[in-house]
Amino acid sequence: MKHKLLKIKKLAVVFGTFAPMHTGHVDFITKAKRENDGVLIIVSGTNTEEDRGTRDGLHLNRRFRYVREVFHDDELVVVDKLDEEGMLAYPNGWEPWLKTLHKLIKDNTDYQFEEMTFYVGEEDYQKPLLSYFKKVFANEYCVVKDQINDFGKIREKEVAITIIDRTLVPVSGTEIRKNPLVYWRYITMPFRRHFTKKVLVVGSASGGKTTLIKDLGRVFNAPISLEYARHYQEVYNVRDDELDTNDYIRLFANQNEQTSNVIDSGSHSGIVFVDTNATVTMAYVDYYLKGVISEEEYQALKLSYKVAISKEKWDLIVLIPPKSAYVNDGFRDMTMASQDIRDGFTNHLIELLEQDGFKDKLLILDSDIDTFFLDNYKKTVKAIKDRLNIEI
């Protein structure tokens, strides 16, 4: 919940694009907080393609939320955003930018501070900031009773500039965007979810997905998100062919949540492996329920599917063809053991993946049955190296 900086004498103001925010930013913000009584962080930029962060998928609104998340438990830090859309590019847009900044300072404090210090990385910012705010403060006065000076007048607010020493952390936002895994240790936790490489493994049941996912997790020292449906079926003791509309709605939501929690855990170095997604779940909906349930129910499931798939971003999708033996584990529907049915299901899954816009991320494994498991592992590891530039 948004709060204000109240009853402080010394205010620090830090602004930047933060695309992404890294530990260097956090370090100087922490120092600014400790030098003052509170910090106002202004995340600036736009949600348009003119913004360098937006071009890399980190638009202003997302950066604002992530920065606020970094400091969610710090009462001495307040985060707001300054949307520069429609403003002229630096240095021609100073006047509207400064007026907007002034308003944000008023909105996020009780405006009773005596001193305000801007922490900036560019010396060119000093003159416009000092000129504007000294002029503003000359016409505005602190109303705190003990601020009467020796001449009986209310003292004006003071404004100062501190130049940030950027050499303390040997990395920039540009370098991180180009090589996030190289600089992974510097990326703050919320921003890591944006740069995490996500590898999805899909296919029909009993195809070796779980085994491959576990092996990849071990060899890359990375977390995995197993198929949520299997956990769900074990908890509720329900077979594949017994799942109904309500079950599938929960599967769509909870698989995505489970995967998001793995990514957000921070217990990885930039890559996670996931078994099954909303597309696979929808393929099962089409196999078991299409034409069986009412059209209204089916459309409700399609809506849940579209909502879930809209949140999914994959860097590599590995599809395992149904060549291994179909094993009865007590939950699987053995009518799907037919090779024709498994092939038909796989082809439909491929169609859905392509409709979802994942065609260019898709790797369909093709291995001889005699070397099926070894080849699938080796080809997946090679694809991770070639496409994601990540090696064991």
CB 21 within 8 A of CB 125: no
Question: Residue 330: what pLDDT?
Answer: 66
245 & 160 share domain? no
- Separation of alpha carbons 375 and 149, rounded Å: 81
At 151, the pLDDT band (50, 70, 90 cuts) reads very low
- Separation of alpha carbons 212 and 206, rounded Å: 12
* Cα distances (Å, whole numbers) of residue 274 to 123, 223, 248: 46, 9, 18
Q: What is the pLDDT of residues 226-263, one digit of tens each?
A: 999 989 999 999 988 899 999 999 999 999 999 999 98
Q: Is a pLDDT exceeding 90 seen at residue 274?
A: yes
Query: Among 119, 37, 25, which Cα is nearest to 76's?
Result: 37
Known binding residue 184? Answer is no
- Separation of alpha carbons 44 and 20, rounded Å: 12
- Separation of alpha carbons 220 and 204, rounded Å: 24
Known binding residue 295? Answer is no
Structural domain that includes position 77 = 10-175
Known binding residue 90? Answer is yes
164 & 285 share domain? no
Question: Residue 1: what pLDDT?
Answer: 56
Known binding residue 95? Answer is yes
Instruction: Give the mean model confidence (pLDDT) for residues 27-56.
Output: 95
Q: Is a pLDDT exceeding 60 seen at residue 26?
A: yes
Instruction: Give the mean model confidence (pLDDT) for residues 186-207.
Output: 92
Q: Is a pLDDT exceeding 60 seen at residue 150?
A: no
Question: Residue 324: what pLDDT?
Answer: 79
Known binding residue 330? Answer is no
Known binding residue 96? Answer is yes
- Separation of alpha carbons 72 and 70, rounded Å: 6
Question: Residue 39: what pLDDT?
Answer: 98
Q: Is the peptide bond before 20 cis (omega within 30 degrees of 0)?
A: yes
Known binding residue 91? Answer is yes
Position 159, amino acid = V
- More confident call, 154 vs 9: 9
CATH number, domain of 206, equals 3.40.50.300
- More confident call, 169 vs 360: 360
Question: Residue 334: what pLDDT?
Answer: 67
**How many structural domains is the chain composed of?**
2
**Residue for token pair 């994601």:** 388
SS3 167: helix
Question: Residue 123: what pLDDT?
Answer: 87
Report the greatest alpha carbon distance in the chain.
95
Q: What is the pLDDT of residues 288-344, one digit of tens each?
A: 999 999 999 999 999 999 999 999 999 999 999 998 777 776 667 767 778 899 999
Residue at a domain's end among 143, 175, 207:
175
- Separation of alpha carbons 194 and 174, rounded Å: 15
Known binding residue 22? Answer is yes
Known binding residue 17? Answer is yes
207 & 164 share domain? no
203 & 343 share domain? yes
Known binding residue 25? Answer is no
In a domain, 282, yes or no: yes
CATH number, domain of 156, equals 3.40.50.620
Q: Is a pLDDT exceeding 80 seen at residue 148?
A: no
In a domain, 2, yes or no: no
Q: What is the pLDDT of residues 106-147, one digit of tens each?
A: 999 999 999 999 999 888 899 999 999 999 998 875 444 445
Known binding residue 85? Answer is yes
Q: Is a pLDDT exceeding 50 seen at residue 180?
A: yes
Known binding residue 72? Answer is no
In a domain, 85, yes or no: yes
Token pair for residue 328? 């009865």
In a domain, 186, yes or no: no
At 267, the pLDDT band (50, 70, 90 cuts) reads low
Question: Residue 141: what pLDDT?
Answer: 59
19 & 131 share domain? yes
219 & 316 share domain? yes
In a domain, 267, yes or no: yes
Which of 24-33, 53-62, 166-175, 213-222 bottoms out in mean pLDDT, i.e. has the lowest? 166-175
Known binding residue 300? Answer is no
Known binding residue 252? Answer is no
